[in-house]
Structure 1
Amino acid sequence: MSDQTRVLLWTLSRTCSTILLKSLSNIPDSQMIFELYTSANIYGPDRREQTTYPDRITHPEPTYEGIELDANGLLKGPGSGFKSSICSFEWVKRQLEADYQGKKVIIAKEMANFLSWRYHFIPKGYRHMFLIRNPKKVFPSWKKMQIEISELNGRKFELGEPVLDQFPEVVKHGEAYKEITDLWLHIKENNLDTDPIIIDSDDLLQNPKEVLSAVCSRVGIPYSDSLLSWEAGVSVVDQWMVSATFKNMMEHTEFFKNFRNTTCFKKPVHESEVLDLSTFSPDVQRCIENSMPYYLKLFEQRLKY
C-alpha cells in the first residue's frame, strides 16, 4: 500500500458523486470502488432487518460473468457485478485494504450515512475527501430517487403519499448531513487524516478544472485534462468494483440517467436564482431545515481553489 495513493470519497445522495467517479476513472492505473458499505448496510449479512425496511423486496441479483474470489474471500480484478451477499462490514474493510497489484491510485466512493457510526471499520491507508451539496438541491432529487427505488421493489405510491423523511435511508438525525459531519469530525479528531478535503458539488460543476487540479495536488495525483470529459454510457463500470445490484441500477434506472448520458461536468442551470424554501413540499422542507446547519458548517471548510 505504501506506493499507492488511496482516497476515500465520502458523500451523500444526489451530489453528482458517481459522475465524479466516472471522471476519476480516467486516471491511469487506477481502481474505482463503488459503495461497498452501502451494499453491506442494505443487502449484506449485516443488513438491517425487515422492520427497518418493511417495503423492501429482495429480488434476485443479475448475474455477471468473470467474478472471482481469492483464498481470503476477496475479489480478484475489478469485480464488477459481484453478489451483494458477501458484503459484511468486516469484509468491506478487508477489501478496501487489499493489495490491488498494478494499481497506482485507489479511489473508493462511499455514502457516509451508511457507515452507521461503525467507525472501527474505516480502512487504513486512505486520504479522506468529502463531497457535499446544498440541501435545497439534494432533497427534491433524493425524494424522486427514493420513490423510484421503492417502486422497483414492488411498492406503488398514490399521488402525495410518499414522505421523504419517513424513508429509512433518509430519516436520521440530520437527514445524512449530521452523519457526514460527524464522520468528518471523527476523522480529523482521531488523526485518520489531519487535513481531509471538502468539495462542494456546485463548485465542481462550475469550475471542474480548478477544483480537480487542486484536489489532485492535495492528494498527490498528477492532474490531466482527461478528467474533464469521458464517453457516454456505462462501459467504464466494467472496470469498477461494484455489486451486481448497483451495476444493474446504473445500467437501467432513471436516477442514473445523467450518469449514463453526460460526457462532461455540466454547469447548473438557473444558478443565479435563489431557491425558495416555500416552493418545496413539507417533508422536503423539514429535511432541508434539519440539514442546513450541518451543510453550512462543512461548506465553510470547503476547498478553496
Structure 2
Amino acid sequence: MWSGPRNLSTALMYAFAARGDCAVWDEPFYAAYLKATGIDHPMKDEVIAAGEADAARVAEACLGPLPDGRAIWYQKHMTMHMVPAFDRGFMRGLTNVFLIRHPARVVASYSKKREAATLADIGFVQQAELFEQVAGFTGETPLVVDSADIRADPRGTLGRLCARLGIPFVESMLRWEAGPKPFDGVWAPHWYNAVHASTGIDEPEGDLPSLAAGYAPIVEQALPYYQRLAAHRL
C-alpha cells in the first residue's frame, strides 16, 4: 500500500492486521530514507537505530517469506521514502495499491505534527511517479483507494478493495482495540496518537479544512497529482 503521510494509512494497516490472516509491516524504508537523505524528522535517530538503513536489504525482505506463516502480508509504504537512488525493481514482485487523500486534508493534518511542510514531504509527486511505473511494468491501471471513500463507507470500500485483491472481506477489519500495537513503528508516539485513540474507521469527513497562511500553494501544487490518481479510484 503506497501512501503519503496522514492518509489514513495507519488505520488501514490496523484494519488489515485485524483480519487475523494478515501480517503487517509499518513503513519498511523509513530508516533507509532518513539515512540516505539526512532529512530532519521527529525521532530521526530512534527511527534509524530501530530500522534497517540499507535499502537493498529492505527491498529483499519485502519479497518474503511471509512472516509467521500468514497468508497475506500488508506492507505500509510511504511514497516519499522511495528516493531516486533506491532500486524499485522489487515492486514487480508485489501487488501495489495506492492510497490517496485530498491534499488539503493531508497538509492540515501534517502541519500539526511537523511544521514547514514542503511538496516533497507529503509524497504526492512521488506517488504519481510510482503509479506510472507500476502501470508501465504491469500494463494495467494499478488499484487506487481514496481515504474519503473508506471513511464514508468502510464496509463497502474495503469490500471492493478485497474483491479486487482476490481476498475475502472479513468483518473484523472494521474494528480494533484502542491503544498502541506491537507492530507500530518506533515513531508511533509522535505520529499515532489519534489512531491509538480509535477503535475503527472514523465517520465521514466534513468540508475541506481551512489552512494556515503559506500552505495553500502546496495544496495547489499537489492537487493535479491527487486528481490524476483519483480518476482511477475504486
Shorter-chain TM-score above 0.5? yes
8 Å CA contact 1:164, 1:283 repeated in 2: no
Q: d(CA) in 1 for partners of 2:18 and 2:143?
A: 21
Residue 78 (structure 1) aligns with: none
Call closer, same or farther: CA 1:58–1:132 in 2, change over 3 Å. Answer: closer
Call closer, same or farther: CA 1:58–1:129 in 2, change over 3 Å. Answer: closer
Residue 5 (structure 1) aligns with: none
Residue 3 (structure 1) aligns with: none
Offset at residue 267 of structure 1 (A): 1.4
Q: d(CA) in 1 for partners of 2:194 and 2:47?
A: 23
Q: Which runs of 5+ in 1 are unaligned?
A: 1-8, 63-81, 148-162
Residue 149 (structure 2) aligns with: 203
Q: Which runs of 5+ in 2 are unaligned?
A: none
8 Å CA contact 2:18, 2:172 repeated in 1: yes
8 Å CA contact 1:41, 1:114 repeated in 2: yes
Residue 102 (structure 1) aligns with: 69
Residue 153 (structure 1) aligns with: none
Q: d(CA) in 1 for partners of 2:60 and 2:22?
A: 18
Offset at residue 94 of structure 1 (A): 1.1
Residue 114 (structure 1) aligns with: 81
Residue 74 (structure 1) aligns with: none
1:1-305 correspondence runs (5 A): 9-43=1-35, 47-49=36-38, 52-53=39-40, 59=45, 83-84=50-51, 86-100=52-66, 102-117=69-84, 118-147=86-115, 163-165=116-118, 170-171=119-120, 175-191=122-138, 194-234=140-180, 237-238=181-182, 240=183, 246-247=185-186, 249-250=187-188, 252-253=189-190, 255-269=191-205, 271=206, 273=207, 275=208, 279-303=210-234
TM-score (norm 2): 0.89
Offset at residue 103 of structure 1 (A): 1.4
Offset at residue 257 of structure 1 (A): 1.3
Q: d(CA) in 2 for partners of 1:130 and 1:287?
A: 21
Deviations 1:15-65 (A, max 9, x none): 11101100110223321011111221014xxx224xx54x87854579xxx
Q: d(CA) in 2 for partners of 1:124 and 1:112?
A: 16
4+ runs deviating over 2 angstroms: 55-62, 117-125, 279-283
Partner SS state of residue 30, structure 2: helix
Call closer, same or farther: CA 1:130–1:215 in 2, change over 3 Å. Answer: same
Residue 158 (structure 1) aligns with: none
Q: d(CA) in 1 for partners of 2:225 and 2:218?
A: 12
Aligned pair count reads 232
Call closer, same or farther: CA 1:58–1:128 in 2, change over 3 Å. Answer: closer
TM-score (norm 1): 0.69
Offset at residue 140 of structure 1 (A): 1.4
Q: d(CA) in 2 for partners of 1:59 and 1:263?
A: 30
Deviations 1:160-219 (A, max 9, x none): xxx322xxxx547xx52111011101100121x724210110100110000111111111
Q: Larger Rg: 1 or 2?
A: 1
Q: d(CA) in 2 for partners of 1:57 and 1:14?
A: 17
Among all aligned residue pairs of Structure 1 and Structure 2, give the percentage whose two residues are the same amino acid. Answer: 21
Offset at residue 120 of structure 1 (A): 2.9
| Structure with higher helix content | 2
